[in-house]
């Protein structure tokens, strides 16, 4: 076999391994010099369009679903866009609940101009306090007492006159008449000028007793009509006394409550309410009378069941927008049914629960009415009653506060408050997965959330966006009260953003992750007594973050150091190749090299994927293996079938494997095993192979390269080690400084390739060759050796011809 002296492919220069923003291009001396400008929404044109439409379209159907992954600052983005727009909007009305004097179980809901709700509550409370003092005080005044005395004299005179008539009638018939305090009438006969007692009556002769008894019954029938007149007189006196009290109460109400009714009576619904309130006070004037002090402490005040009679005259300020400037923007972090939809609370009194209209409490839906309500879809779906209640409110355009009852629970007394008219926009924040789940499983979702605000995770890295990104960094520094970041540190943050998104031409919009590094860098600078955050502090913060979470990576590296995990970083071997993978532990991703081995022999079993056979390979990895077989057919099965028995295996892999990024390395080990040409193990190879042999882009290239580099660095760099990766992934390179420095010093190499042939040239030093017109590969090429070996395996696998005998 013939190998070329040097690989044809060229390794990448250090300048192409990462994008670097020159500090001189940062026009600000430090972050304190950056003006406050809210430019983050400019990075999200799709979301801005959806939210802008929501601002213009009225009604309850065009609500917004903001779709994006966590750590993108979704809630902050929505608030930063809506808050300025809402501040220019109209301030919504107050809402109050008032006692329904006709049906106490159905409180009245009324809207009032912003700020009028609290004024009404205070004015009515002040007036009713004065009325409670004035009515009893008015009864003690001389004018009332004189009227009361004149009335009593009138009825007492008539009462005495009627009693006189009764006494005269009784004396005429020789009977004595008496009436006790309870109104029981007693007739006693008079015999010989003396009143006969019950005891003496029994001693009289039977004939006398019979005569007196008959005469008494006849007399009783005669005085009964007079007795009825006396009772009627008592009733008339009480009615007159009640009318006098009512008249006094009306006078007090006219004096004390008229200012309230004149000030608020022109508001919708208030005139009828004030009229009913005045009637309630007048009809229940006895409740305003002072209580008997001898019973104080023995009986609970107020109405039965713990309800205070005077509570009905209060105002429940349900929603107060008196201090709201523009439309409200409400974020509900815990959307339980009570917190979101409102509730009817209860209080305990002597072991019993009771409620009234003052215990109706507003939810976030009511506080955001007239503005914007922001909810996280995961929190909302965790409370099914909240989700159902929200959709019900959007459908009806009204919010009805109800008690969520268990069907098996005994229903307690409750209220049916009047509905609240709704006019707001609901903004749901969630992921694409939740959006699809709701879209396909709940028809109501598409009806009421017609606007999708899709957040993009990255923005192009151009001059305009870098300038806007600096505004974002300055805003973070100001809001978090961080130390000033120097020009070099600001440039480093822009580069760190590109590393987060793994793209030299894009900026990551995962702003909270950048914010975390800034906060930690500022803390490290303070600990070191610095007044500004420079590039070393930023680098230390990034490194410290990795150090806190890379324990498993360090344990793996220790196993590589001790050769527990056997991966060669020098020498050659046939049928072996170094592949690369990425592993996630929590939120930390790191790359690890793996030894991929291949064996081939005579047989009809084909190429076995041992990972799949052991049920460790995922479907995408299995697809990669099938593509390898298809690629083999394209290259070598044009004139003959491929007949062989072989296997591919990730050595020392004991967990599941998914993805096709190692299919290039697997094909390389297979070609090496078939050709007998050894592979240079100083290189690791990552890349997915297509059926045409093209090497396609894969993910996690930075971590993969850094993982293999770390293993090589621990074993000492030889200057001949490196990584082969797809050419399409060059734009994704944002490597650490130590890798860039090693490449710059010629101690490490990174080769971009477009085809498997280019990769095999680097790995084996031998050209693969192209099929000639005769259908054969040129002698001395890798593919010629593979093709010849496959032909041998095919012949060896043919059934042996039987021997002829004479």
DSSP for 245-258?
HHHHHHHHHHHHTH
What pLDDT band is residue 294 in, cutting at 50, 70 and 90?
A: very low
Distance between CA atoms of 112 and 126, rounded to whole angstroms? 19
Question: In this model, does residue 217 exceed pLDDT 70?
Answer: no
What is the tens place of the pLDDT at every residue in 597-627? 999 988 887 777 666 666 666 777 677 778 8
Are 353 and 395 spatial neighbours (Cβ–Cβ below 8 Å)? no
Query: 88 is written with which tokens?
Result: 């220019």
Distance between CA atoms of 735 and 731, rounded to whole angstroms? 11
| Higher pLDDT pick, 584 / 449 | 449
What pLDDT band is residue 296 in, cutting at 50, 70 and 90?
A: very low
Question: In this model, does residue 512 exceed pLDDT 50?
Answer: yes
- Mean pLDDT over 303-330 rounds to 84
- Mean pLDDT over 213-233 rounds to 68
Long-range Cβ contacts of 558-567 (<8 Å, 24+ apart): 560/593, 560/711, 560/714, 561/714, 561/715, 565/652, 566/595, 566/651, 566/652, 567/593, 567/594, 567/595, 567/711
- Mean pLDDT over 790-797 rounds to 87
- Mean pLDDT over 13-28 rounds to 93
Question: In this model, does residue 152 exceed pLDDT 90?
Answer: no
Are 759 and 42 spatial neighbours (Cβ–Cβ below 8 Å)? no
Query: What does the pLDDT read at residue 148?
Result: 73
- With H, G, I as helix, E, B as strand and everything else as coil, classify residue 146: helix
% of the chain with per-residue pLDDT over 70: 84
Question: In this model, does residue 173 exceed pLDDT 90?
Answer: no
What is the tens place of the pLDDT at every residue in 402-428? 876 555 554 566 789 999 999 999 999
- Distance, C-alpha 549 to centroid of its chain: 27
What is the tens place of the pLDDT at every residue in 94-111? 999 999 999 988 999 999
- Mean pLDDT over 638-648 rounds to 84
Distance between CA atoms of 786 and 779, rounded to whole angstroms? 11
The region of weakest confidence among 188-197, 325-334, 430-439, 688-697 is 188-197
Question: In this model, does residue 531 exceed pLDDT 90?
Answer: yes
Are 83 and 38 spatial neighbours (Cβ–Cβ below 8 Å)? no
Query: What does the pLDDT read at residue 803?
Result: 45
Distance between CA atoms of 596 and 577, rounded to whole angstroms? 5
- Distance, C-alpha 566 to centroid of its chain: 47
Q: What angle do CA 56, 57, 62 make, to 5 degrees?
A: 130
Query: What does the pLDDT read at residue 203?
Result: 60
| Higher pLDDT pick, 607 / 704 | 704
% of the chain with per-residue pLDDT over 90: 57
Question: In this model, does residue 157 exceed pLDDT 50?
Answer: yes
Query: What does the pLDDT read at residue 532?
Result: 95
Computed over every residue of the chain, the mean pLDDT equals 86
| Cβ neighbours around 152 below 10 Å, total | 14
Query: What does the pLDDT read at residue 299?
Result: 45
Backbone φ, ψ for residue 795 (5° rounding): -65, -40
Are 332 and 340 spatial neighbours (Cβ–Cβ below 8 Å)? yes
* Sign, CA torsion 438/440/442/446: positive
Question: In this model, does residue 2 exceed pLDDT 60?
Answer: no
Distance between CA atoms of 793 and 602, rounded to whole angstroms? 6
Q: 98 pairs with which residues across the strands?
A: 108
Query: 238 is written with which tokens?
Result: 């009480």
What is the tens place of the pLDDT at every residue in 451-510? 999 999 999 999 999 999 999 999 999 999 999 999 999 999 999 999 999 999 999 999
Question: In this model, does residue 215 exceed pLDDT 70?
Answer: no
| Residue ranges with strand state E in 337-470 | 343-344, 347-349, 352-354, 360-361, 372-376, 398-399, 420-421, 425-430, 451-454, 458-460
Query: What does the pLDDT read at residue 412?
Result: 60
- Mean pLDDT over 280-290 rounds to 86
Query: What does the pLDDT read at residue 169?
Result: 66
Query: What does the pLDDT read at residue 6?
Result: 42
Query: What does the pLDDT read at residue 176?
Result: 64
| Higher pLDDT pick, 180 / 352 | 352
Query: What does the pLDDT read at residue 490?
Result: 96
Question: In this model, does residue 302 exceed pLDDT 50?
Answer: no
End-to-end Cα spacing for the chain: 46
Distance between CA atoms of 538 and 488, rounded to whole angstroms? 10
């Amino acid at each position: 076999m013939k190998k070329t002296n040097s690989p044809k492919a060229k390794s990448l220069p250090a300048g192409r391994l990462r994008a670097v923003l020159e500090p001189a291009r940062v026009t600000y001396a430090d972050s304190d010099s950056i003006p406050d400008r809210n430019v983050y929404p400019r990075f999200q044109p799709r979301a801005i369009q959806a939210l802008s439409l929501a601002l213009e379209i009225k009604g309850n159907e065009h609500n917004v679903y903001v779709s994006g992954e966590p750590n993108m600052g979704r809630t902050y983005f929505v608030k930063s866009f809506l808050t300025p727009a809402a501040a220019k909007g109209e301030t919504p009305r107050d809402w109050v609940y008032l006692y329904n004097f006709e049906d106490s179980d159905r409180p009245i809901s009324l809207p009032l101009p912003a700020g009028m709700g609290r004024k009404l509550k205070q004015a009515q409370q002040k007036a009713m306090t004065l009325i409670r003092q004035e009515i009893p005080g008015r009864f003690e005044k001389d004018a009332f007492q004189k009227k009361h005395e004149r009335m009593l004299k009138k009825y007492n005179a008539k009462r005495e006159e009627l009693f006189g008539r009764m006494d005269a009638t009784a004396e005429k018939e020789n009977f004595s008449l008496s009436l006790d305090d309870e109104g029981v009438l007693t007739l006693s006969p008079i015999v010989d000028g003396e009143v006969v007692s019950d005891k003496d009556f029994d001693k009289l002769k039977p004939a006398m007793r019979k005569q007196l008894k008959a005469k008494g019954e006849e007399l009783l029938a005669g005085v009964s009509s007079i007795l009825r007149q006396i009772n009627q007189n008592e009733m008339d006196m009480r009615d007159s006394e009640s009318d006098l009290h009512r008249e006094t109460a009306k006078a007090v109400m006219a004096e004390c409550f008229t200012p309230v009714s004149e000030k608020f009576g022109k508001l919708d619904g208030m005139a009828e309410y004030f009229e009913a309130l005045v009637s309630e006070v007048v009809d229940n004037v006895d409740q305003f009378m002072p209580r008997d002090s001898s019973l104080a402490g023995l009986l609970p005040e107020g109405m039965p069941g713990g309800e205070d009679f005077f509570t009905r005259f209060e105002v429940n300020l349900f929603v107060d927008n008196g201090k709201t400037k523009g439309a409200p923007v409400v974020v509900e972090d815990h959307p339980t049914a009570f917190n979101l939809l409102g509730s009817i609370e209860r209080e305990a009194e002597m072991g019993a629960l009771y409620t009234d209209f003052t215990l109706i409490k507003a939810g976030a839906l009511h506080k955001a009415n007239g503005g914007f309500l922001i909810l996280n879809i995961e929190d909302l779906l965790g409370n099914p009653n909240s989700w159902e209640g929200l959709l019900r409110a959007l459908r009806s355009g009204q919010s009805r506060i109800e008690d969520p009852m268990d069907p098996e629970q005994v229903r307690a007394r409750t209220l049916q408050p009047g509905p609240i008219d709704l006019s707001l926009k609901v903004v749901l924040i969630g992921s694409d997965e939740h959006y699809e789940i709701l879209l396909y499983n709940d028809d109501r979702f598409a009806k009421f959330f017609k606007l999708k605000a899709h957040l993009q995770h990255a923005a192009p890295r151009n001059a305009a966006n870098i300038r806007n990104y600096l505004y974002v960094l300055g805003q973070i520094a100001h809001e978090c009260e961080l130390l000033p970041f120097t020009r070099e540190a600001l440039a480093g943050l822009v580069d760190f953003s590109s590393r987060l998104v793994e793209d030299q031409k894009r900026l990551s919009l995962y702003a909270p992750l950048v914010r975390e590094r800034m906060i930690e860098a500022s803390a490290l600078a303070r600990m070191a007594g610095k007044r500004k955050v420079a590039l070393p502090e930023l680098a230390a913060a990034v490194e410290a973050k990795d150090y806190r979470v890379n324990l498993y990576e360090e344990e793996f590296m220790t196993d590589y150091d001790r050769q527990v995990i056997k991966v060669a970083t020098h020498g050659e071997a046939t049928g072996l190749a170094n592949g690369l993978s990425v592993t996630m532990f929590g939120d930390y991703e790191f790359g690890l090299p793996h030894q991929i081995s291949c064996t081939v022999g005579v047989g009809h079993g084909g190429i076995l994927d041992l990972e799949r056979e052991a049920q460790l390979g995922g479907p995408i990895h299995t697809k990669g293996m099938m593509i390898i077989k298809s690629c083999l057919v394209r290259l070598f099965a044009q004139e003959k079938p491929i007949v062989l028995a072989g296997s591919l295996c990730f050595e020392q892999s004991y967990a599941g494997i998914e993805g096709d990024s190692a299919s290039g390395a697997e094909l390389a080990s297979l070609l090496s095993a078939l050709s007998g040409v050894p592979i240079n193990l100083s290189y690791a190879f990552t890349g997915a192979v297509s059926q045409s042999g093209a090497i396609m882009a894969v993910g996690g290239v930075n971590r993969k390269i850094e993982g293999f580099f770390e293993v090589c660095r621990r074993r000492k760099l030889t200057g001949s080690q490196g990584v082969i990766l797809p050419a399409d992934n060059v734009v994704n390179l944002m490597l650490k400084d130590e890798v860039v420095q090693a490449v710059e010093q010629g101690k490490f190499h990174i080769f971009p390739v477009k085809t498997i042939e280019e990769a095999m040239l680097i790995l084996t030093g031998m050209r693969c060759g192209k099929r000639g017109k005769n259908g054969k590969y040129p002698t001395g090429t890798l593919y010629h050796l593979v093709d010849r070996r496959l032909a041998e395996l095919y012949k060896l696998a043919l059934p042996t011809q039987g021997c002829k005998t004479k």
